Structure 1
């Protein structure tokens, strides 16, 4: 087993050198306690100078400085450098992908919420053109769009409470 390993903190993206064999290790930058077995080892060696050079290369790769990344490991073989570079790029790709997915999920939640209200409002306007609106007919028209009955009932109550509509008789709405 090598004496030194270059790892990257998953929280702050700080590359540091650790000695394998410990159960936990603390990040030197953010001071988070990390489980050593779960950290991805980018480079391992018995020579501390090689580990330092590899750490510098990983830091350059993370920061996006490909020229410095290429220059950082002159004494280490090309295959080792390529492996370190692939690992860094894979980690950056996964991190970027996670951020993009979070943003897309957030936007989808906003759009879905706006979309449901727009469907409820537009369907109400469409049915109101013909006079009184049968609440069950209104429900049948919008139920396929993924809106649950509880939300629909709250929407109808809101229409009546705000004065947008009123109930001329039980089970019917009329636009005010």
Structure 2
């Protein structure tokens, strides 16, 4: 059973049909799913998985309780570093899911720096990530930091600036 990190942008309110089909394939193959508790793509994917009655799901959260756990699955509390605020509160749980994953599936709005960083985190450890870019209606797979760079080049300088502002020193050295 492969472990797959499913995530995406918080402003995604409907999964693309191709992502729905891919998640259906994950369920059919009985792979494990690592997913966050955020509204948006996480909650939409959780809803789909719960609708299947799928059991091989772990929900990762930074708060005391998950914001969303729509299938009442096992939950994993990954506390944020002391003093973390804003995006940094949830970044450590994202890093943990990436560390545990063999593959990724990200539904990206084309501008979310957090989702872009998750693709990089997966690429850095050699875990391929399928990216559904809803802004550009594109599906790509990032196998490496170079693939991630190409994905980010399409997003523009402001998105790149936001991503770089959120990177750890190790993540900055990679690309």
Same fold (TM over 0.5): no
TM-score (norm 1): 0.22
TM-score (norm 2): 0.22
More helix by share: 1
